[in-house]
């Protein structure tokens, strides 16, 4: 995927596409940047504990999505109601997504194929060596969309990202949530995927987002995800995430507070078995006054699995009234499992409320003994303690929160 | 029911029980008293199977089974219940869920039919009234945010649900005000019958005003050094344990 084959793959891809020149130029510039940056190594802060060499040794994808599932085109978005799955017509992006809308689709909702948008609508993402895969995503982009939800509307949407080939799927998604609009979004990925996903969510003033991200992956799968959320003033975001297994699952998320009085609350669960590796990196950028971020992560590693957690908050000079909290708790179930956990605060102003904490340990023996002393077998008692530990991150209080996770 | 012979036990390198013998018949209540560090709680821990305590010598027969061969949970299912001196808080594990899991695990072990949720709820409602506990405590995580008295009451409440054959109360009276003490004692007395036995570990005679024992034993330096009836507890209240040094 990364060395010489990338040039060849790039040539094959671009020769097949009939794209505007500006996009062709974006692709070739991105490829050059990616090659200049190189593949991240342990010297990169956000990749320090992620062995990227694993990406060169991935097993072949065995489960490819069947045809028929798809992206909807803007013309099909006019008068849809109730629960429905939309089908698209563009062969280039077909099958990459399944959209399921619950309830009524707001009028004037706009959807565009990311490969068909005007140059002026393309937003560049600032990259560096840590974010090199964003450049690769641009160079090799093979699908995506830009969805715009009109102001004062509500939308409940589930998006399934599908693996449609044996190669990497490079997907870029942009969601614009209009003023005072409300989006209830659930994102899931195919169980056996090789996806490099770049997602941007732009939240306009007074908008609300309820966001659940499910990465329940096969132990041989690979997912690289860069996510950026930009908040105008008075935005409210609740985000839940479940990351389970994968040979390599690496997420970088940036949350930018650009307007005052916005709140971001995130809770995630990471569970890794065998030789799986999960890395979750979140940066909350308090650029303006009076915003609040609360990041909670609960992680559990067993066998020879590894998990790397990095939560960073930057409070800019003058961003007084910021309120920052980070809680990272981690449990190791075996001697060979590894968890690296790092909360980090960079505060450049005076009037800030900030708290952070990180723990790594084993299951509490005293609690385990107490449960056993009432007749509960050891394995069941362990399971109960694990469940209770992870329930901390059940931000939406759903009953089936842990049902699909391999614990 | 319970026959303890020449038990020696230690925690780490610290030898605590040094040849303890005790015989308990069905329906009997035995009080264990003694100075700090005598080994009272260790006796409870040995019987319940706490892994931090190592038994180096002796035997414990419980209803014809070698108790020392059994895991903690197996002992519980055989009918041993230890009311903890310091009940553990378990955030995130709902009290009701925990109790039903415990009850059904014990029933499964004994080859009995598991209790469904409506049967369990009915049982819980009856018992919680008897223990004068607030309903909402059941919906909360195990012992989390409970006062000291509520934790002790919760132990007795668990005991009433699990209906053990031998209950060991490890300083259940510590930290209780007089009203809470009466409630806890009432709960214990309701469970007394000809088939159920109790070991009541305590420092103070006042608990024994409410839970009247058949026997009182003085434990010192890892052995039972004196046994008697309830009057021994009254005597100890007056004389203390200074006589042990003579």
Determine the Cα–Cα distance for residues A258 and A285; give it in Å rounded to an integer. Answer: 9
Query: Does the distance separating the beta carbons of A375 and B93 come in below 8 Å?
Result: no
Mean pLDDT of A195-200: 98
Percent of chain B surpassing pLDDT 70: 100
Closest to A326 (Cα-Cα) out of A339, A313, A315: A313
Of A219, A161, A255, A194, nearest to A9 by C-alpha is A194
Average pLDDT over residues B125-149: 84
Strand B80-83 to B90-94 pairing: unpaired
Tell whether A366 lies on the interface with B, counting CB pairs under 8 A.
yes
Q: What are phi and psi of B144, to 5 degrees?
A: -75, 125
Of A373, A377, A388, the CB nearest to B91: A388
pLDDT at B186 over 50: yes
Is the pLDDT at A124 greater than 50? The verdict is: yes
Instruction: Please state the rounded mean pLDDT for residues A231-240.
Output: 98
For chain B, say whether A391 makes contact (Cβ under 8 Å).
yes
CB nearest A367 (choices: B76, B90, B102): B90
> A372 and B71 in contact by Cβ < 8 A?
yes
**Dist. CA B127–CA A92, nearest whole Å:** 66
Contact, A132 vs A30, CB < 8 A? no
Q: Which residues of A are less than 8 Å from B109 in CB distance?
A: 375
Of the pLDDT bands very low, low, confident and very high (cuts 50, 70, 90), residue A71 is: very low
Per residue, the 3-state secondary structure of chain A, as one string, reads: CCCHHHHHHHHHHHHHCCCCHHHHHHHHHHHHHHHHHCCCCCCCHHHCCCCHHHHHHCCCCCCCCCCCCCCCCHHHHCCCCCCEECCCCCCCCCCCEEEEEECCCCCCCEEEECCCCCHHHCCCCCCCHHHHHHHHHHHHCCEEEEEEECCCCEEEEEEEECCCCCCCEEEEEEEEECCCCEEEEEEEECCCCEEEEEEEEEECCCCEEEEEEEEECCCCCEEEEEEEEEECCCCEEEEEEEEECCCEEEEEEEEEECCCCCEEEEEEEEEECCCCEEEEEEEEEECCCCCEEEEEEEEEECCCCEEEEEEEEEECCCCCCEEEEEEEEEEECCCCCEEEEEEEEEECCCCEEEEEEEEEECCCHHHHHHHHCCCCCHHHHHHHHHHHHHHCCCCCCCCCCCCCCCC
The pLDDT score that the predictor gives to residue A4 is 58
Could you give the C-alpha distances from A360 to A270, A322, A386, in angstroms and in order? 13, 27, 14
B177 or A254, higher pLDDT: A254
What pLDDT band is residue A85 in, cutting at 50, 70 and 90?
Answer: very low
Q: Do B109 and A380 lie within an 8 Å CB cutoff?
A: no
d(CA A84, CA A237): 25
Residues of chain B with Cβ-Cβ distance to A377 below 8 Å are 73, 105
- Nearest residue, CB atoms, A376 vs list B49, B88, B101: B101
- Residue B178, exposed/middle/buried by CB under 10 A (0-12, 13-18, 19+)? exposed
At A366, is the pLDDT very low, low, confident or very high (cuts 50, 70, 90)? very high
* Residue B71 in this model has a pLDDT that exceeds 50: yes
Residue B190 C-alpha, separation from nearest chain A C-alpha, in angstroms: 20
Residues of B in contact with A385 (CB under 8 A): 90, 93
| Mean pLDDT, rounded, of chain B | 91
What is the rounded CA–CA span in Å between residue A319 and residue A286?
7
* Mean pLDDT, rounded, for A101-124: 91
Q: Do B98 and A384 touch (CB under 8 A)?
A: yes
- What pLDDT score does A2 carry? 54
Q: Looking at residue B24, what DSSP letter applies? A: E
Would the CB atoms of B92 and A388 count as touching at under 8 Å? yes
Q: Residue A93 above 60 pLDDT?
A: no
pLDDT for residue A309 is more than 60: yes
Residue A304 CB neighbours (<10 A): 16
More confident call, A17 vs A405 = A405
Q: What residues of A are in contact with residue B82 (Cβ under 8 Å)?
A: 373
Distance CA B80, CA B74 (A): 9
Q: At a CB cut-off of 8 Å and minimum separation 6, what does A166 contact?
A: A60, A61, A64
Partner-chain contact A377 B105, CB within 8 Å? yes
Nearest-CA distance B213 → chain A (Å): 25
Q: What is the mean pLDDT of residues B155-173?
A: 93
Distance of CA A229 to the CA centre of its chain: 11
Q: Is the pLDDT of residue A87 over 50?
A: no
- For B48-60, what is each residue's pLDDT tens digit? 999 999 999 999 9
pLDDT band at B236 (very low <50, low <70, confident <90, very high): confident
Interatomic CA distance for residues A159 and A188, integer angstroms: 6
pLDDT in tens, A131-155: 999 999 999 998 999 999 999 999 9
Q: Decide if A383 touches B, using CB distance below 8 A.
A: no
Q: Which segments of chain B does DSSP mark as H helices, in order?
A: 40-48, 72-78, 95-109, 117-130, 136-139, 148-162, 178-191, 206-210, 230-239
Of A373, A380, A389, the CB nearest to B82: A373
A164 HSE (CA, 13 A, CB side): 21
What is the torsional sign of CA B144, B146, B147, B153?
A: negative
More confident residue, A12 or B152: B152
Weakest-pLDDT range from A149-158, A173-182, B46-55, B227-236: B227-236
Cβ proximity of A229 and A175 under 8 Å: no
Which of A254, A197, A246, A336 lies closest to A51 in space, CA to CA?
A246
**What Rg value do the Cα atoms of chain A yield, rounded?**
21
Is A367–B88 a contact, with Cβ atoms under 8 angstroms apart? yes
Q: What is the pLDDT of residue B13?
A: 92
Confidence of residue A5 (pLDDT cuts 50, 70, 90): low
A389 touches chain B (CB under 8 A): yes
What pLDDT is recorded for position B177?
86
Element (H, E) at B201: strand B197-201
pLDDT above 70: residue A92: no
Smallest Cα–Cα separation from A339: which of A351, A331, A347?
A331
Label each residue of B27-76 as H, E or C. CCEEEEECCCCCCHHHHHHHHHCCCCCEEEEEEEEECCEEHHHCCHHHHH
In Å, the largest CA–CA distance within chain B is 59
3-class SS of residue B140: coil
Confidence band of A86 (pLDDT split at 50, 70, 90)? very low
A88 has pLDDT over 80:
no
Contacting A with CB below 8 Å, chain B residues are: 48-51, 71-73, 76-77, 82, 84, 87-88, 90-93, 97-99, 101-103, 105-106, 109, 141-142, 158, 162
Partner-chain residue, chosen from A377, A391, A392, that has the shortest CB–CB distance to B73: A377
Residue A97's pLDDT band (boundaries 50, 70, 90)? confident
Query: What pLDDT score was predicted for residue A278?
Result: 98
Could you give the percent of chain A with pLDDT greater than 90?
Answer: 78
Which percentage of chain A shows pLDDT scores above 70?
92
- What pLDDT, on a 0 to 100 scale, did the predictor assign at position A94? 55
Instruction: Identify which of B71, B92, B101 has the shortest CB distance to residue A391.
Output: B92
What pLDDT score was predicted for residue B246?
A: 63
Does residue A81 contact residue A95 with C-beta atoms inside 8 Å?
Answer: no
Which whole number is the average pLDDT over A366-387?
Answer: 95
Neighbour tally for A4: CB within 10 Å: 7
Q: 3-class SS at B116?
A: coil
More confident residue, A46 or A406: A46
Averaged over A53-69, what is the pLDDT? 76
Residue-wise pLDDT tens digits, A328-351:
999 999 999 999 999 999 999 999
The lowest-confidence range among A249-253, A393-397, B25-29, B128-132 is B128-132
Q: What is the mean pLDDT of residues B18-41?
A: 93
Interface test with B, best of A298, A329, A374, A390 (most B CBs within 10 A): A374
Q: What is the DSSP letter of B89?
A: P
Q: Taking CA atoms, what residue in B is nearest to A394?
A: B92
The model's confidence at residue A37, banded by pLDDT at 50, 70 and 90, is very high
Write out chain B residues lying below 8 Å of A380, CB-based.
101, 105
Cβ-contact A212, A185 below 8 angstroms: yes
Q: What is the mean pLDDT of chain A?
A: 90
Residues of B in contact with A389 (CB under 8 A): 92
Chain A residues inside the 8 Å CB shell of B99: 374
| CA dist B190 → A106, B120, B130, B194 (Å) | 64, 19, 9, 12
List CB contacts (< 8 A) between A267 and chain B.
none
Backbone φ, ψ for residue B19 (5° rounding): 100, 50
Spell out which residues of chain B touch residue A331, defining contact as CB-CB under 8 Å: none
What does DSSP assign to residue B151?
Answer: H
User: Of the ranges A188-202, B188-202, B226-240, which one carries the lowest mean pLDDT score?
Assistant: B226-240
- Separation CA A281–CA A310 (nearest Å): 5
Q: Nearest CB to A369: which of B51, B93, B106?
A: B51
Q: What's the CA gap between B24 and B198, in Å, rounded? A: 9
């Amino acid at each position: 995927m990364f060395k010489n084959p990338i040039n060849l793959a790039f040539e094959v891809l671009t020769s097949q596409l009939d794209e505007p020149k500006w996009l062709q130029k974006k692709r070739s510039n991105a490829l050059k940047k990616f090659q200049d940056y190189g593949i991240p190594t342990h010297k990169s802060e956000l990749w320090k504990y992620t062995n990227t060499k694993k990406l060169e040794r991935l097993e072949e994808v065995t489960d490819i999505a069947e045809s028929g599932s798809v992206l909807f085109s803007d013309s099909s978005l006019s008068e849809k109601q109730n629960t429905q799955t939309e089908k698209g017509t563009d062969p280039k992006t077909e099958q990459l997504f399944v959209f399921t809308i619950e309830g009524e689709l707001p009028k004037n909702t706009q959807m565009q194929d990311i490969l068909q948008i005007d140059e002026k609508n393309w937003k560049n993402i600032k990259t560096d060596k840590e974010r090199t895969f964003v450049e690769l995503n641009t160079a090799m982009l093979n699908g995506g969309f830009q969805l715009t939800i009109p102001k004062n509307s509500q939308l409940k949407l589930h998006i399934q990202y599908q693996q449609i080939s044996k190669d990497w799927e490079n997907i870029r998604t942009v969601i614009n949530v209009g003023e005072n609009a409300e989006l209830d979004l659930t994102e899931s990925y195919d169980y056996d995927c090789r996806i490099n996903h770049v997602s941007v969510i732009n939240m306009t003033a007074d908008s609300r987002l309820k966001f659940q991200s499910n990465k329940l992956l096969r132990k041989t799968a690979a997912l690289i995800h860069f996510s950026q959320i930009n908040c105008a003033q008075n935005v409210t975001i609740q985000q839940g995430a479940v990351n389970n297994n994968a040979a390599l699952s690496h997420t970088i998320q940036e949350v930018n507070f650009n307007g005052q009085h916005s709140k971001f609350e995130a809770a995630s669960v990471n569970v890794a078995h065998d030789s799986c590796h999960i890395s979750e990196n979140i940066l909350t950028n308090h650029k303006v006054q009076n915003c609040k971020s609360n990041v909670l992560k609960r992680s559990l590693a067993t066998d020879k699995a590894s998990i790397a957690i990095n939560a960073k908050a930057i409070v800019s000079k003058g961003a007084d009234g910021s309120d920052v909290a980070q809680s990272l708790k981690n449990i190791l179930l075996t001697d060979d499992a590894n968890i690296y956990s790092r909360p980090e605060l960079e505060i450049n102003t005076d009037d800030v409320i900030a708290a952070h904490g990180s723990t790594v340990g084993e299951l509490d023996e005293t609690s385990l003994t107490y449960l056993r002393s009432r007749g509960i077998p050891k394995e069941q008692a362990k399971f109960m303690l694990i469940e209770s530990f992870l329930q901390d991150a059940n931000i939406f209080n759903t009953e089936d929160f842990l049902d699909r996770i391999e614990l | 029911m319970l026959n303890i012979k020449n038990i020696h036990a230690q925690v780490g390198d610290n030898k605590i029980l040094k040849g303890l013998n005790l015989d308990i018949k069905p329906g009997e209540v035995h009080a264990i008293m003694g100075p700090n560090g005598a080994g009272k709680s260790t006796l409870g821990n040995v019987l319940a199977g706490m892994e931090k305590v190592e038994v180096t010598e002796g035997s414990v027969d419980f209803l014809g089974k070698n108790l020392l061969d059994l895991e903690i949970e197996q002992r519980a299912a055989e009918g041993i219940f230890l009311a903890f001196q310091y009940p553990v808080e378990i955030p995130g594990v709902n009290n009701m869920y925990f109790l039903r899991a415990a009850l059904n695990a014990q029933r499964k072990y004994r080859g009995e039919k598991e209790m469904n949720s409506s049967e369990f709820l009915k049982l819980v409602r009856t018992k919680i009234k008897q223990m004068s506990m607030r309903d909402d405590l059941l919906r909360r995580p195990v012992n989390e945010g409970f006062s000291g008295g509520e934790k002790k009451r919760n132990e007795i409440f668990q005991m009433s649900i699990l209906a053990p054959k031998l209950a060991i109360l490890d300083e259940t009276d510590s930290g209780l005000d007089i009203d809470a003490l009466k409630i806890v004692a009432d709960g214990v007395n309701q469970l007394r019958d000809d088939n159920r036995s109790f070991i009541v570990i305590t420092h103070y005679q006042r608990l024994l005003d409410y839970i009247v024992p058949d026997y009182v034993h003085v434990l010192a330096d890892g052995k039972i050094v004196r046994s008697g009836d309830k009057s021994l507890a009254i005597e100890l209240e007056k004389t203390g344990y200074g006589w042990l040094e003579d």
